[in-house]
Structure 1
Amino acid sequence: MISRTATIVTVVPDTLTSSLAAALQAARKTRGLSVSALAERAGVSRAMIAKIERGEAQPTAVLLARLALALGMTLSELVARAEDGAGRLVRAADQPTWTDPASGYRRRTVSPASGRPLELVEIELPAGARVAFAADAYPDVHQQVWVLDGHLRLQEGETVHELHVGDCLQLGPPADRAYGNPTDRTCRYLVALTRR
């Protein structure tokens, strides 16, 4: 069974923590939502959202995806807003990273800021780590996953895909998904996302 737990932990220094807080707050205000309205839409407490927006807590990947969905965005779009870049070229040294405090899942946005038809995201999943997303986390997004290094166990609903270096999987219709690394070394994979 895929876990839908959405927790936060104390802030861990990260290149995107404060900018994610500002991007979340700006997206909420742009949509004319109060903290209470966003909390109701996302199914999380007002106190949790307030802590995240003040930069006092870092959300997990699962919680961030729920907040993004409640704002009518994907996780990638929300993170891209935090990246504050509008150019066509993003140098490797300037590609922002974000680390999920619960799993150690590390996300690096490779492509320039959102608003483009294609987004490229590199993920590093530590040995033994697993991160799960509910089916509604990416409702209108087409995704392909390409394994760059290591072994990725990707569960889509009841189907489990064992992916190795060079394997590329086109994800199916929205389903609960879990990304796991059953090995003792880091797994790296690229996710390409486009709007359906």
Structure 2
Amino acid sequence: MSDLDQLTQSLARNLKRWRGERGFTLDALATRAGVSRGMIIQIEQARTNPSVGITVKLADALGVSISTLLDHEQDVPVRLVAAEQAVRMWSTGAGSHASLLVGTESRGPLELWAWHLTPGDAHSSDPHPPGSTELLRVTAGELTLVVGAISHAVPAGTSATFRADAPHAYRNDGTTAVEMTMAVSIPPVR
């Protein structure tokens, strides 16, 4: 089975499991996530690979991390994730990319990401659920972090934290690549 097939099967199984554990009907999850009922059916039947945006919406609606939806090794006491096992969730033709490194459901979803943004590239994110927080550390280049309508310069060696329940974006306005590590904390569904 290829990595993509394994990812598709894991997403199908885990989406169905978490929807059931939350007691959400297909219609309820579709409404809560802003994703069509038909798309959820296709995902649960492992007939499609959704975009990162759809996967994020489903994870947020279920109150779980993206890594929980994609993880094929659930409920192990220690989980090591080798670099080649990180899941590339976003990329551009210019060479920018974001990889989900690891995540957990301890006291709500918590995810660790590695980002690489080439000069002139950017990624925008919809607001996460209320109470969500992101922490990041830039290790190379200078990130332009936009939260709401306000831009913040985050040079290499600088860390930042912000409420991620507002629209936000990561931009590289410089001439060298931006490298950063980011953690995302999302409150559990009540």
TM-score > 0.5 by shorter chain: yes
Report the Cα distance in structure 2 between the residues aligned to 1:102 and 1:63, rounded to whole angstroms. 17
Which segment drifts farther, 17-26 or 179-188? 179-188
Over the aligned positions, Cα root-mean-square deviation in angstroms equals 3.2
Counterpart of 1:39, as a letter, is A
- Give the aligned partner of residue 120 of structure 1: 112
Tell me the SS of whatever aligns to 1:69.
helix
Shift of 1:91: 4.5
**TM alignment of 1:45-60, pairs within 5 A:** 45-60=36-51
138 and 146 in structure 1: CA distance in 2 versus 1, 3 angstrom threshold: farther
Which segment drifts farther, 57-66 or 83-92? 83-92
Tell me the SS of whatever aligns to 2:136.
strand
**TM alignment of 1:1-196, pairs within 5 A:** 13=4, 16-73=7-64, 77-83=65-71, 84-85=73-74, 86-93=76-83, 95-100=85-90, 105-110=97-102, 113-115=104-106, 119-126=111-118, 128-135=120-127, 137-172=128-163, 174-182=165-173, 186-194=177-185
Which segment drifts farther, 172-181 or 99-108? 99-108
179 and 25 in structure 1: CA distance in 2 versus 1, 3 angstrom threshold: farther
User: Which ranges of structure 2 fall in alignment gaps of 5 or more residues?
Assistant: none
Number of residue pairs aligned between Structure 1 and Structure 2 = 180
Tell me the SS of whatever aligns to 2:35.
coil
User: Could you list the per-position Cα deviations for residues 66-119 of structure 1 after superposition, in whole angstroms to 9, with x for gaps in the alignment?
Assistant: 21222133xxx23235322533351434753132367864223246x4326864
Counterpart of 1:87, as a letter, is P
Identity of aligned residues (%): 29
Report the Cα distance in structure 2 between the residues aligned to 1:161 and 1:99, rounded to whole angstroms. 24
User: Which ranges of structure 1 fall in alignment gaps of 5 or more residues?
Assistant: 1-11
User: Could you list the per-position Cα deviations for residues 36-73 of structure 1 after superposition, in whole angstroms to 9, with x for gaps in the alignment?
Assistant: 22112112211122222233333333222221222133
